[in-house]
A and B are shown apart, each in its own frame.
Chain A
Amino acid sequence: MINTTELDAIAHLARLYLTDAEKQAFAKDLQEIFTWIDQLPDEQITPPPAPLCPSVMRPDEVTEGNIPEAILSNAPASTYQMFSVPPILG
């Protein structure tokens, strides 16, 4: 069962900040959901599950490049045709 400490770790992996009230509510929801999910039967199949679609290869060629303005048009912040972000160590 998922407790709030475990939920803290998951939220960090998912890069989500949760308030204490949210943690309690989500821990309760997830417990209910996983109780339901645990009804899944243990099945074995041969061969083991693999991707449903085969990988499709294509030539490693630029087809629609050189459009930095379009790519940056929605960026919250950009400088010198690059995305800019707050300091990593701050």
Chain B
Amino acid sequence: MKHALLNYDLSAALEGLRKKTFSATELTKAYLDQIERTKALNAYITPTPERALADAQRSDQRLANGTARPLEGIPLAVKDNFCTQSILTTAGSTILGNFTPPYESTVTQKLWDAGAILLGKTNMDEFGMGSTTDNATYGKTGNPWDKDCTAGGSSGGSAAAVACGAALGSVGSDTGGSVRQPAAFCGIVGVRPTYGRCSRWGLIAYASSLDQAGTLTRTVADGALMLNLISGHDPRDSTSARQDVPDFTAVCGTSVKGRRVGIPKEWFEEKQDPVILKQWQDGRRCLEEAGCEITFVSLPHISVALPVYYLLVCAEASSNLARYDGVKYGLRAPSPNLMDMYEKTRSQGFSNEVKRRILIGTYVLSQGYYDCYYTKAQTVRRLVIEEFNTIFKEVDILLTPTSPIPAFKWDQAPKDPVTMYWNDILTVPINIGGVCAASVPFGQSSQGMPLGLQIIAPAFQEERLFQFGHILEKGASFPPLPFLSQ
């Protein structure tokens, strides 16, 4: 039997802690027990139970003496690509298998400053490169709805931890869908705010023009609460935006009557899985019943956003990952000379998918190919951005499925990279286009696996994600997460 305290979602747990219905230590112990009970899913790379209990005691003191902070006593999980001071941070890679950061990422520091408790660091695709969390070094993360299926990725450990009750919420990162897709696969809410909304200081770089932190929670309101606390300009990240941070929780439950919702016809006209198509239509109907006006819109370049993404992401990754050379931190392969050491270290420390992307990136940035690949991709990226800007003069949000497929069994994973990359088609245009998006649980596959609907909003209009997300959440009739009925 699971612990009864796991029934509380984040917002309800905060209330319970403040009313002293239970203590932060009791709540944290319930989550640490659940981490043990769900160990077979392999959501965590490094659990941190001792730190969690010590932090919980401090939270209890604050709750007792009236100095509780906004997330006081809330146990959370963190994707293993956020640097956490003095705690192993691997980014899912062998090359960082012994890396203990001497500093803390801004996003996690904001959580600890708000009183949250770290339960541990979660599994992921190496450096965020993948969408299955099938990690060559740290193992596969199973889906809490069916352990033989993928949890999605690359924030699969963070999504699985929330969906199996082994964390009240978690932070992930989303370069091309890595928060939204695992959230959809695991039946939880995943929010990918606008690039610049959250600081990237201490988030291990994969593709710097696309990486952004995001939240994974059981409910839309919980996501709003967490995003409130991790957003904001950071002088340490020159790409973080000087934008006011509204209270994202304030819009949950407000009316969307008369608002305009766009359906990208280029995607709608593509051959979609009938189950996904029905889910999409049900989502449209839900918003129509809430008083929204639904229209089909055209984004002509959206279908080529995927190859643009893979060109840019590989180019940026090849540059960012040049730092792993065996000199300053991480793995070093024994070798008689420097060049040999570089090559052996990187060959032993990176998995095949990372090597593949480094090779693609090096190729497209090399002399003679730069213009025909990298410049071309930047050109089409600009067109995608302009199309989003134009379309958001006509509609308030766009509605799409989060993924063209539900979570699949491990043995049904695509074997060739192009087919695997194709599964990101609905999420990557958001990162390319500089807008924001969220995935909300809505519908199930014929095998009972969860599906997600994606809400896309203009840059720095995350309030719309929560406002419309709340409506979809209420209209979804989505079943409880499996652990809640155990």
Contacts and interface: CB of A to CB of B under 8 A. Distances in A.
B267 interface: no
Q: In the complex, which of the residues A26, A44, A52 has the most CB atoms of chain B within 10 Å of its own CB atom?
A: A52
Nearest to A38: B307
A90 B337 contact: yes
Given A40-B304, A74-B329, A30 B338 contact: no
Interface string A57-90: 0100000000100110111110000010111111
Nearest to B86: A73
B379 A44 contact: yes
B449 to A, nearest CB: 27
Given A15-B346, A37-B307, A29 B380 contact: no
- At the interface, is chain B mostly helix, strand, loop or mixed? helix
B347 interface: yes
Given A30-B363, A33-B310, A76 B343 contact: no
Contacts of A86: 335-338, 340-341
B102 A15 contact: no
B198 to A, nearest CB: 15
Interface in B349-391: 350, 352, 355-356, 358-360, 362-363, 366, 373, 375-383, 385
A76 B332 contact: yes
A75 B327 contact: yes
A44 B376 CA distance: 9
Contacts of B375: 48-49
A26 B346 contact: no
A37 B311 contact: yes
B355 A74 contact: no
A76 B359 contact: no
Contact of A49 (B332, B342, B356, B381): B381
Contacts of A29: 356, 416-417
A26 B356 contact: yes
Contacts, number: 145
A77 B359 contact: no
A39 interface: yes
Nearest to B344: A17
Contact of B337 (A53, A74, A88): A88
Given A26-B355, A76-B327, A45 B382 contact: yes
A10 B339 CA distance: 15
Contacts of A42: 376
Interface in B26-63: none
Nearest to B101: A74
A49 B379 contact: yes
A75 B328 contact: yes
Given A10-B359, A36-B307, A75 B329 contact: yes
Contact of A10 (B304, B332, B344, B362): B362
A10 B363 contact: yes
B102 A71 contact: yes
Contacts of B253: none
B328 A83 contact: yes
20 contacts: A10-B363, A13-B362, A16-B347, A18-B347, A26-B356, A30-B356, A30-B359, A36-B307, A37-B373, A43-B376, A45-B382, A49-B375, A49-B381, A52-B209, A53-B239, A70-B103, A76-B326, A76-B330, A85-B341, A88-B337
Interface of A: 2, 7, 10-11, 13-18, 22, 25-26, 29-30, 32-33, 36-37, 39-45, 48-49, 52-53, 55-56, 58, 67, 70-71, 73-77, 83, 85-90
- The 8 tightest CB contacts between A and B, nearest first, are A90-B337, A74-B329, A76-B332, A49-B378, A70-B102, A56-B238, A17-B343, A17-B347
